[in-house]
Chains A and B, each alone.
Chain A
């Protein structure tokens, strides 16, 4: 491909089939690799290598997160993933160890972030546990090849990019639905891409992922990325697995992904600013939330 090739414009998921046939690529990961390479004037090998480093950092974030209990000064993060690990090891898993691993790893990485651990903000620091928790666990449990897993990350990134074009990935703009909702949509799509290439199956998974978390507000206690953020990562990871499984079973989204994204933006615009990362409403202004915030300010 000529590096000076014209920029590939993507305005929504519906543009993709047309662009793919025009550019003569057959899979979604190849399409996103090509568009990134052309739009950023980067050789294909460099694009792949960059994603290798992202994957490596995602894997390291799980190892780092599980290496010790994560506790924050506020007391709102108190070694939750450690407790989940012990509970599962003692045979307490409600639905088998695979599901326990999804929720434990999602929580661990989100807690690690709260404790100044090294994470990948994909798509944001506040939702950094979703991809490692759900996608990496499913890939491990199904012995997915390294190459296929790497390619699925381009699907996650590409879906996230489309959301950022049509709406936003920021909690201060559209609430938590834009962070953990988007993370869940990206992850559901990537999980599907581990197994099949079919565009409409991938689209359905992403649409389900976002639809299920529409309307989530961002009301963190004390303005910190701890409560409710950490457990939202667990919900978004579990949701991603459920949505991927629904899509793989052949269930199709009725509302196309682009329209779901536009809906997320419309809902986000009607969420009052008190519930968009300002900590002036919701859980942040509960009696307990305000007490915790006051204690933090006095430190």
Chain B
């Protein structure tokens, strides 16, 4: 840890895992989805579901989806803000002992267009699952059916593409000529759709220009960049 992990975070109460962690999960899901949120279904599992009411877990998750940081007093009014901004949401409460006790799953509906290729999982939706692992820390474990492990401490690049030879080389070269080092990389593929997803943690943020070059490749469906989270988020 470190002194500021002990002396913080500055947050809206009452619980670092059920309130601050929940807000952080919503915030990260918003960044990963990366587009204006029109409609989202939020499934809260286990302890998140059991004690959501008294911990403001529902308010915190929606606040995070709206881009509010964990210490924003506006988290308390997040449901009204979502309504005012026209962000549709609904909650599902579930028990599933196979899941971590504090799990939230987000299902974004892209009602602007149902383009399978863009949304990634072939159903016109975009899913993200995360855990609140204590002290306000979180971990994203699933994006569109692909397993990932992301806690917000790195700059990230996610690329969904047609699973053809040479794609890894293309990604590596595109980053390499820009002197961007890859700290970690994982690959997952969907055999049915013949799509693959590369999940990369980078030592520097992926610039817009670089993301555009990746997008311009005809085999690439979608590129998502996330800059590492700062303090207070």
Contact = CB atoms under 8 A, between A and B. Distances in A.
B19 interface: yes
Given A113-B14, A116-B75, A128-B13, A36 B54 contact: no
Contacts of B114: none
B16 interface: yes
Nearest to A159: B6
A222 B14 CA distance: 13
Contact of A124 (B2, B10, B16, B53): B16
A290 B149 CA distance: 37
B54 A160 contact: no
Interface string B1-44: 11111111111111110011000000000000000000000000
Contacts of B47: 223
Interface in B53-68: 53-56, 59
Nearest to A182: B6
Contacts of B55: 223-225
Interface string A219-246: 0001111100000000000000000000
B135 interface: yes
B50 interface: yes
Contacts of B4: 36, 50-51, 54, 157
B94 interface: no
B219 interface: no
**Interface centre among B5, B13, B20, B56, by most A CB within 10 Å?**
B13
A51 B50 contact: no
A122 interface: yes
B10 A118 contact: yes
Contacts of B207: none
B86 interface: no
B10 A125 contact: no
A163 to B, nearest CB: 8
A123 interface: yes
Contact of A125 (B11, B53, B231): B11
Contacts of A172: 134
A41 B163 CA distance: 40
B8 A223 contact: no
A108 B56 CA distance: 19
A220 B11 CA distance: 21
A73 B11 contact: no
B203 interface: no
A74 B53 CA distance: 10
B76 interface: yes
Contacts of A121: 8-11, 16, 20, 135-136
A39 B1 CA distance: 10
Interface string B59-101: 1000000000001010110000000000000000000000000
Contact of B54 (A32, A54, A73): A73
Contacts of B20: 121, 125
B217 interface: no
A81 to B, nearest CB: 14
Contacts of A122: 6-8
8 contacts: A54-B7, A121-B11, A121-B16, A156-B6, A157-B4, A157-B7, A161-B6, A296-B54
Interface of B: 1-16, 19-20, 47, 50-51, 53-56, 59, 71, 73, 75-76, 134-136, 231
Interface of A: 32, 36, 39-40, 50-51, 53-54, 57, 72-74, 112-126, 128, 153-154, 156-158, 160-161, 164-165, 169-170, 172, 186, 222-226, 296-297, 299
The 10 closest A-B pairs by CB, nearest first: A113-B13, A160-B6, A157-B3, A225-B14, A224-B54, A223-B51, A157-B7, A57-B10, A122-B7, A114-B14
